[in-house]
Amino acid sequence: MLSDRIRAGLAAIADPARAPAMQAYMKSAMPYLGVSSVPRRALCKELFAGLAFASSAEWQAEVLAIWRGAEFREERYCALELTGIRAVRGFHTLEALPLYEELIVTGAWWDYVDEIAGNRLSLILKAEPAAMKRAMLAWANGDNMWKRRSAILCQLNAKRETDLDFLYACMAPSLSSKEFFLRKAIGWALRQFARTDPAEVARYVKEHEAELSPLSKREALKHIG
């Protein structure tokens, strides 16, 4: 099984002495083996080379087997790597959204969520924009903080293709939230778009100054003179 090969490969390159510090930094309940990102990605590249899946369902089942069976956090990072290989690009349709919803809800931390939101949900948004926008607006108005953060960040790398009305609609339900990760997401999304249109971000911040948290405003305006 692929999950067994991943576990064996990670164990072979692990530095157990690094594991406690990695776990402490990420405030993770799940332990680490002690494998940093560069060798982990090299391992994934080797293990995933030539992989092909007959269907989206087959690919999703493999990802979930790795994710659900993980004993160490690096195994879950490898599951995320498997969602980003070239061979599965065509599977990033609305059919994959329940997969990512499970990873977001059960992962429930920024290292997983931000990778999924910025680099996976964005692909679904490009493939099926109307349906995906409806889904993300539902997430943005829901109770789960990590799904709300994901909706805010799903256009993070869209640059001039950013749908501002959609971005602002995803942020609106969280503007008054006291949750750090939502305040940070709002500021990050605005700061990223400010690279494309700083005047628009400055206008938005001024218009919503009373609603935005100091953290969101500070992040949004960080690179605006």
Q: What is the pLDDT of residues 173-222, one digit of tens each?
A: 999 999 999 999 999 999 999 999 999 999 999 999 999 999 999 999 99
Amino acid identity of residue 186, one-letter, is I
CATH number at residue 34: 1.25.10.90
Residue 21 lies in a domain: yes
Residue 126 lies in a domain: no
Residue 79: name the closest of 95, 16, 90, 104 by CA.
Answer: 104
pLDDT digit string (tens) for 131-181? 999 999 999 999 999 999 999 999 999 999 999 999 999 999 999 999 999
Residue 62 lies in a domain: yes
Residue 17 lies in a domain: yes
Reported as a pLDDT band with limits 50, 70 and 90, residue 70 is very high
Token duo for residue 166: 């959609």
**Domain tally, the chain:** 1
Say whether 126 sits in a helix, a strand or coil: helix
Q: Residue 141 belongs to what H/E stretch?
A: none
Residue 74: name the closest of 150, 1, 13, 147 by CA.
Answer: 13
pLDDT number for residue 225: 72
Average pLDDT over residues 26-36: 97
Token duo for residue 162: 């950013």
Residue 200 lies in a domain: no
Tell me how far apart the alpha carbons of residues 71 and 93 are, in angstroms, rounded to a whole number. Answer: 29
Amino acid identity of residue 97, one-letter, is L
Average pLDDT over residues 85-89: 96
At which residue do the structure tokens 């690179």 appear? Answer: 223
At which residue do the structure tokens 């950013």 appear? Answer: 162
Q: What is the maximum alpha-carbon separation in the chain?
A: 54
Tell me the whole-structure pTM to 2 decimals. 0.96
Structural domain of residue 41, as residue ranges?
1-91
Residue 35 lies in a domain: yes
Residue 128 lies in a domain: no
Residue 6 lies in a domain: yes
